[in-house]
Amino acid sequence: MAACLHDHDCGESDCSSSWSLYKHIDLSKVTALNEAVRGSVQSVFKPWEQRLNSSEAYLESNEGDPELIVFIPFTSDVKIKSIAIVGGADGKSPSKMRVFVNRDGIDFADAQSMQPVQEWDLAENLHGFLEYQTRYSKFQSVGNITLHFPESFGADVTQIHYIGLKGEATQMKRDAVANIVYEVMPNPSDHKTRAESGGGLSQVE
């Protein structure tokens, strides 16, 4: 079980809620590949207190194929400290998780061939108390992440009931970054020249 992520008495503070990145997820743009019910992936993102609400919908892979990919964009850049996964019972929990940072449009062929930023062997975690710590230096300035779940604990489907992300968000909205970069340039013509020559900012991978 993971330790608390910051410096105070966790008995006197709701650590899970205060460090949750739930409100910074661009939920309408969250997608999944190989989900049995289209759009069901959005139901697994919810406040920590609701993580065990089994009456709600959940994400499940197509029968006979337990592999899943979940794409999660954020409304502002974030720093991710840990990830929690609540899976299904009876071998339906994902057994591995591989994460890619700031990569758009990853499909199953990409996920199998690309090197993830980090990967974990998961435990069957039905209550959400286990957290998987990230290599924090690799999870700075995150605009989106892709989670690849290649297999379950033996079932022919994978179920996910909750995905929780903890960390910190910058106070800058992603769509404001370009304008601010433009405004701090000393001369608009310099900015234009750099842009035309392929210069400028690049995403952290």
Q: What residue spans define the domains of the chain?
A: 12-173
- Is residue 51's pLDDT more than 90? no
Reported pTM: 0.77
Dist. CA 45–CA 50, nearest whole Å:
9
- pLDDT band at residue 52 using 50, 70 and 90 as cut-offs: confident
Beta strands 31-33 and 132-133, pairing class: unpaired
199 CB contacts (<8 Å, ≥6 apart)?
Answer: none
CATH number of the domain located at residue range(s) 12-173 in this protein: 2.60.120.470
Three-class secondary structure of residue 147 per DSSP: strand
pLDDT at 54 (0 to 100): 66
- pLDDT band at residue 81 using 50, 70 and 90 as cut-offs: very high
Give the model confidence (pLDDT) of 112-150 as tens digits: 999 999 999 999 988 888 999 999 999 999 999 999 999
- Is residue 95's pLDDT more than 50? yes
pLDDT at 175 (0 to 100): 53
Angstrom distances, CA of residue 174 to CA of 74, 153, 202? 8, 37, 13
- Report which residue type is found at 47: P
What is the mean pLDDT of the segment spanning 98-123?
97
Percentage of the chain lying above the pLDDT 70 cut: 73
